[in-house]
Structure formats: structure tokens, C-alpha cells
């Protein structure tokens, strides 16, 4: 199980790297669940990581704006990264497939090495978007590589506040049947780690828990917290 830590700048990336994170994920938490970082920040982090870890890049939480998403993916395709994360805030299943298909086409046209992560939201009913259990099918139909659960509204409620263990497990099983990698994130707490270990996603993502005082927006990622998370998951 790989541990992904979301960082917002070079200094946090170094903390996550030294803490043992397997994937350094770039996002701008002030712009939402998958808020994108500025290009110069991305370049600084890529230079700091220097190929020592995989890098993922959030490009946004997208309503049905396939052109906007595709242009963001075009920019990402020119970077030395491993994953592009796409938030599916579309209203319907059909819109989600169309948007994600356009992103996949863009990435494959310019950098076939990058894996595309389709991100659905555990709290989909709060934001009136495509149900999270449809995400594995969307990802498979569109040609993405990873199906991921996150939360859309960051108010401290974890994904397990909205989804039962059975529902999360069904998501993972469905994704695996479609030959997709699996990932879980969404305001996860220390108390959730035992359950995460039982569910065994390929990737588990953190930001708030990796930050001082658990504050994803105003806090800073700290090496010690990242290391604690990894030790608890792998003990």
C-alpha cells in the first residue's frame, strides 16, 4: 500500500519526502478538494523530489467542462509527473465519461507514461454529482488507470462518515475487476487507519492528517506526522 501525501509547495514536499511518503501529490487546498497548484510551484516540487518518488498532480474539481479539463491536462502532460488526478463533479454518468475521455485522449496524445486518476466523492449527495460507486465504471469506460474516492467538502468529515465499510469495499472490488488501481482519501483520521489496512487499497492519500494540528489549509505537512502515518499503516 503506497502512502500519498498532498503538498502545496517545495518545503512541504521535502517534509513528505523525508517522512517516507511514496507519492508526492501536488494540490492547492485553498481551491478545493483537488485545487491545482501554480505552474512554478509544480516545477519547484518536481526539482526538489528529483525523481526519488512518484509525483501526482491534481488539476481540478470539474463540472461538465471537458474543454477546460482537457487544456489543464495538456499542461500537465508536459511535466515530469506520474499521475494526473481529475475530480468528477459532473451531474451525470454520461457527462463524467465524456469529460474523462477527453482528458485521457489529451494525456495519451502528449505523454502516454502518465496515469490518469478518476476521483469521485464520498459525499456526492451533498454536492449533487455522479455517485461515487459509478466511478470505477467511468474510469474503465474512459480509459483511465486509477479509481479514487475523496471528499468534496472539507469540513473534517471523513469518507467513512458517508460510506460504510461494505460500500468502500464494493468500490475497491469493482475497480479491481476492471483492472484499475485503487485509491482512498478524504479527511482520513488516525482511527480510520486500522480499517484502511483491512481494505487494502493500492494507494491511500492524506493531507490534513499529515499537517500540524490536522489543519489541511493553514497547517503545514510535517515529516514526523507522515512517518507516524506510515508506521501505523505498515506495522
2 is catalytic: no
Site of grid cell 484502511: 196
**Annotated catalytic residue, options 27, 89, 102, 222:** 27
Set of cell numbers at residue 108: 495519451
Q: Where are the beta strands (DSSP E) in the chain?
A: 2-7, 23-26, 54-62, 83-88, 115-121, 146-150, 181-184, 203-206
Q: Are 219 and 207 in contact (CB under 8 A)?
A: no
Q: Are 67 and 32 in contact (CB under 8 A)?
A: no
Beta bridge partners of 150: 121
Please choose, from the candidates 182, 133, 189, the residue with its C-alpha nearest in 3D space to the C-alpha of residue 161. Answer: 189
- CA gap 132, 120 in Å, rounded: 5
- Half-sphere exposure of 159 toward its Cβ, with a 13 Å CA cutoff? 30
27 is catalytic: yes
**Annotated catalytic residue, options 2, 8, 10, 85:** 85
Active site residues: 27, 85
Amino acid at each position: 500500500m503506497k502512502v500519498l501525501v498532498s503538498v502545496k509547495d517545495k518545503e512541504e514536499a521535502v517534509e513528505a519526502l523525508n517522512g517516507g511518503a511514496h507519492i508526492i501529490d501536488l494540490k492547492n487546498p485553498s481551491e478545493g478538494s483537488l485545487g491545482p497548484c501554480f505552474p512554478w510551484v509544480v516545477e519547484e516540487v518536481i526539482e526538489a523530489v528529483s525523481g526519488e518518488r512518484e509525483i501526482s498532480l491534481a488539476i481540478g474539481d470539474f463540472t461538465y467542462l471537458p474543454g477546460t479539463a482537457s487544456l489543464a491536462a495538456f499542461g500537465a502532460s508536459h511535466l515530469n509527473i506520474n499521475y494526473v488526478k481529475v475530480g468528477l463533479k459532473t451531474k451525470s454518468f454520461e457527462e463524467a465519461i465524456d469529460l474523462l475521455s477527453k482528458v485521457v485522449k489529451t494525456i495519451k496524445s502528449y505523454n502516454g507514461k502518465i496515469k490518469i486518476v478518476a476521483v469521485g466523492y464520498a459525499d456526492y449527495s451533498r454536492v449533487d454529482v455522479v455517485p461515487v460507486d459509478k466511478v470505477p465504471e467511468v474510469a474503465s469506460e474512459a480509459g483511465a488507470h486509477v479509481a479514487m474516492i475523496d471528499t468534496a467538502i472539507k469540513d473534517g468529515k471523513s469518507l467513512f462518515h458517508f460510506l460504510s465499510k461494505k460500500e468502500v469495499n464494493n468500490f475497491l472490488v469493482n475497480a479491481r475487476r476492471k483492472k484499475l488501481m485503487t485509491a482512498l482519501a478524504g479527511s482520513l483520521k488516525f482511527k480510520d487507519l486500522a480499517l484502511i489496512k483491512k481494505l487494502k487499497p493500492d494507494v491511500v492519500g492524506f493531507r490534513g492528517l499529515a499537517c500540524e494540528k490536522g489543519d489541511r489549509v493553514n497547517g503545514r505537512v510535517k515529516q514526523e506526522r507522515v512517518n507516524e502515518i506510515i508506521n501505523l499503516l505498515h506495522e
